[in-house]
Each structure stands twice: as structure tokens, then as C-alpha cells.
Structure 1
């Protein structure tokens, strides 16, 4: 069982990084006479198969999903049948070959069958006599689930295949994708960035979540991730304020930083200790000290807090700064960079405490069991086989 589990894990890991490819060769003359197709799929190399098709000038039709994985191909409907009815019919009717793991298949197609013609489903009218056509299935707009979307894509593939066989007796069909469904970081950054460029402009302005540098100096770095929330009535009403640097000074290993938000002014007093730590000694809001958690960080490390909150009980002022990160530098450099961050959220969280508690109970049970086993003693007295046999008489009434 362990061996099969390990095999499943290996297959799953490969499916995360690579993309499945299904190929079928529709040759009406050979298929009608039940002869073997001229393009043999004996090799397991995707490049070799494409090279053969390109040399023989076989028209190649690529049906390109945006994302695809092995998990998508085994989706079943409510009756237990595959949702890819058209692709299943191609496998049965034509010479076909399935490769579960191909690395960057679309890049291989671009290299070998270049030039290619990428077609949107609503923008083509006539079929070229020869070449490589790529149909972007991702351009089919639908708000359905992925299962329904793949079913519609399967129907589209069947329609296009049927129309092409009217004018072409011999074609090579390929069903694959640009990226795996399990997006890894390398693909995710490129993919999401492209989606952002192609997204339609929205009338609503998106929330401000980008990193905003407040101080970028040789001795101090300070950034936030947006506007701060400020309240002067103990949190009943909050207003958005934009913080900006108003004053900055350095004297005798002490840094004074003032931030102005229009309706509120915040001053940080930072010092470098001889013990190898830097600390924020005092924070004032409108020249009055505020309550905050003690900040004492080792040198070359920064301090980060996703929601840095300052509170003054006397004046009922509250200031919440999102994405707050700060680091002073004792030695000046032209281009300073943040070091590893100490977060305001403690490392020992509730889940960690719960895990430690459960492990402690199990260790106590194990320790008690070991002690009990160690107390077991073997008998030190045995019956003498040559001695008198002990007899017991029982009377029954």
C-alpha cells in the first residue's frame, strides 16, 4: 500500500509541474479503410511527433486551454461518464496518443511548427490550406463552473474538427494548455500579470494596497501599504489619512521621525543600544504619548506589522497604519534594503499552543506506560517438579 501511495504522490507531483497532451490524427482515407495511419506514435517524444508532422506538411490544429491537468481529464458527470465526449470519440475513431506529462508543450509547438496562426473563435471565416492553427479556448466567456466550461470546450472542439474535415482529409489535432491547473509560482506570476494587463477597465477604483514608501533614507526605511485610519472619538468614526514625512533628524545614535497626516501628527523616537538592538523609545500623537507594544529589534532586522495601531486613552485618538514596516540603519549606505522582519504577531499562536498541549499529553501517557512496563517483575519462585504435589479437596453438597 505504501508503494502505491508513493507512486500516486510522484504522479501528482509531476502533474503539478507539467501539462497533459492528447493528439489524434484524422486521415479520412486511411481511417475509412481501417488502415494504420501514416504518422506513427511509437515514439514518446512530443518534439519528434511534431517534427514528423511538420516535415510531411500535415495541417496541425491546436486546441489550447488556459490551464489543464490530469485531474481535469478524469472529471465525470452525474451519470459517471466523462465530460469529454468528443475527445473520447476521437480516441476511438482516429489514431491517437496521450502524453500525461509534457513540459511546456505550447512552447514546443511554437518552436517546431513556426509560423503559427493564433485564432479567436469569433474572428475566423476561412480555413487555410496548410499550417498550424491555434484556437484559444480560454476566450470562450462563461460564468459556469470549470466542469461546465470544459464541457463547452469539448463541444467546440467537435464542431471545429467536423468543419475542418470538410476541406481537409488529413489533420493532426492537439489538445493541451499553456499552464498546469496547479499553478506553481513561476507560472503564477507571469499568468496573473498577463491577466491584469488584459482585464477590462473598471469604473470602480480598486482599494489602495500597494507599498507606499514614506521614508527612504541612508539611515532609515519606512513603508506602509496604504492610507491610515484615524479616529478622534475612540473609534466611533474613522477617516482615511495619508501619512507623509514632515521632519527627520539624527543625533547621537538617536533618530527622530515626524509623520504628518493632516489632521494628526505622529513622532517616532528611535535609538540604537550598545547591546546590539534598536528600539522605539517613544511615540507621540499630536505631542502626547500613546500606548503601543514594546518594540526592541536586533540590528540588521526590521519590524513589520500588518495593522500597526496607536492608541491614546486620554484624548481618545486611534491611528491604524496598514502594512507598517520600519528599520533604522546605524551605518549609512547608498541603497538600503530591509532585513529579515520581526512581526508584531507573536510566534507562539493558539494553534501552536494547542499542538504543544496535545503532544505533552501524549508524551505523559507514553512516559507512564514505559514506567509501568519497567515495574513488571518476573516471578522468583517456581514449583519443585520433584516435590510433593499439592492436592486440594473440594466437597460438594
Structure 2
């Protein structure tokens, strides 16, 4: 019997780049005459379907994750302790890549399907009057900053469900797979691990929050900038790095609006040359407004798109210029009107800052800009929406600087080609030629 570690190390060597492909792990609790699955190369759906239909187990438990990669096993070796023991102590098989493995549940005619309520596993029962029961367990995982924690929760769910199945029957089989290998969205990036020795990677500072009606993600902590008065009227910029935010959402504000508040407390940045700033509280209030379908739509109450406005930034604290202390309590409006997306799409921007246009500043320290790195947000989510961002509606315009550069260079090369063809076409044809049967041409060369 091959161990899980050997199988997964072999699986890492196989490239699984297809969006709808995923690894498949199958293990059995009893002896079976079914032919074992090959570990490498990737197998077809028909092979796995034939294998599962040939099992003599009374129950087949199929765990389906939103995303599963072979890197989940090699990159987080301690995330699946229960699965490792279960897999290695049973007859097992593994394939690192298969196209649409989650669709097999619809092709297994030998089983009667039962969808498992993960919140009420104890009520799980075998299907009445069926020789074989297929238990479908949809795992609400997420490839975000806390991927290891999500995998550990998956491992605990697998252990809980299998414990219940073992109490119902001694003949069972199990399968773990995913809907695809990559999740949509720029924020969902894989960590690159080198085979060579390297320093300990820095902690992931990204933050994802599922607020029920709104998804929000930042790849790094937010940054707030202040404009600081200096000598002779000159002003400088004071950068203040904010830590992780706390989120609060009002999903039931109305049918066409939702509100999310990001809060930071007790921020003490490094002192400026002339000032010391302490921010007791910072609140960023995001108000999402829905645009409904037109009158020609049979469902007039359906949300067609959403925008993010108005947005206000409120901050309070104390400012000390080493001579006197001033209490500040200000509210700044921000223009987020260009943050919008169609329904079921998410807005994304890799590097974006929202500035406040000011003239003739009189404050010694005044707010100037807010940066939300890797900002991605999606609002007005349905109750049955998957815990993944929809397709990204990116803030980058289609004609980016590299595209304009390529078009400009192509235009120059085209002009050179046209000019070359015009030069060739302007070469005159000789109006007289030498006849070998007649008198040779005589060109006098006397001066």
C-alpha cells in the first residue's frame, strides 16, 4: 500500500493548470475486487466512474471542495491529520488531475444521492430501499489568506461525517476532490515555494471578509496619508500604515442599499519631525447602491448593477506639535463613484488610492489620501452564492500604457514599410535597351 506522502509527492510533479481540473483521492474501508486507480498520469472521468460503480460498499461519501490543488497537501502538510490517518490505513488511490471530477455525482447510476447538511451531520441516514447510497458533502472552503485554517476545518468535517457513516455501515468508500484548481479573482494567488533553501516567508497580511451580503478583500493593510505643513509654506506627506480592519455590515438597510464599515482603533504612527499623532478611531463607511432592471424586464426588482457611493472617512484623535496638544475630529467625503460592477461581478483594483483635492490648506495636518491595496469587493450577494468572488470588473482600462506602446511601435513600422514600398515604386524604368543584333549603343565620353 502506497503511503499518502509518496502519492502526493508524485502528484506535485504533474502540472495541473486546467481551470476545471482537480486532484482526486479515493479510499475504501473494506476489501474490494475493483481495479485500483493509477496514480500517474491523469485519468479520465469514465475510468473513475467505472471504478466507483464497481465498488461493493454500501455507502460512498463524496467530499467536494470549491478548490483543491496538490499544493494544498505539499504546502500545508499538517492541515490534514485526520485525512492522512484515514487514507493511509485504507485501500487508497490517487490521481493528481482530472477534468470536472465533481460532475461524477450525476453519472453514478448505481447510487441514490443524498446531500449532507454539514450543520446537522448526526441526522444523516442511509437512503431508504437503496443498496448503495451516495452522500454528497459540499465543503464551503476558500482560498484566501487563511488557507491552512480552511483546510483544517475541512479535515475536521471529513472526520465528523465519516464517524457518522461508520456508525451506519461498516462498508463505505470516500472520495475527496474539488470543482477546480484556481479561484477567480486577483486576490486568490498561490504562494510560490522554492525547492532550494530559503528564508522564512513573511506573514501574509491580506484580509478577506465574508459579510453575508458583501465580500471584501485587501492584499495588504490600508494606508492613510496626511499633508503636513512645513517651513515657508511647503507641505510634506506623512504616511500612516493601518493594521487589519474590523468589519461591520448592514445588509438589510433597504432593498437597494447596503452599508459596510471598516474600523481601525488606537493607531500610533511613527512621529513626524514636528508632530506626534495618535488616532483613537478611524471609520470608513462604504454605502453600496443598487441599480434595478428597467421597466422592460419582467423582474423589475432584480439588481442589474451596483455602485459604491457615498463614502465617508471619519477619524478622531490628538495631534501634538511638541508645544500644545490639539484634539481632532474630522469627517472627509471620498469619491468612489467609479467603483461599480454589474451584478454577479466583483470590482477589483491592484493599486488604487482615493485622494481629497484641497487648496489653500490651513490645517497643520490634513488628510490627503487613502490607499486600499489590492482592493476587491462584491455586493448584493444572493443567499445561495458561493463563497468566491465573481469575475473581476477591473479598474484598469483596456488601453493600458503597454498596449499604447505596442500600437505606437506598430504604427511606426507600418509607416516605414509604406515609405519603402513607395521608394521601390518610384524607381524609373529604362526607356531604351541594347539590341545584340544591331549596332551597339555608343555613349560618347569626351568632355
When normalised by structure 1's length, the TM-score is: 0.42
Richer in helix (by share): 1
Larger Rg: 1
Richer in strand (by share): 2
When normalised by structure 2's length, the TM-score is: 0.38
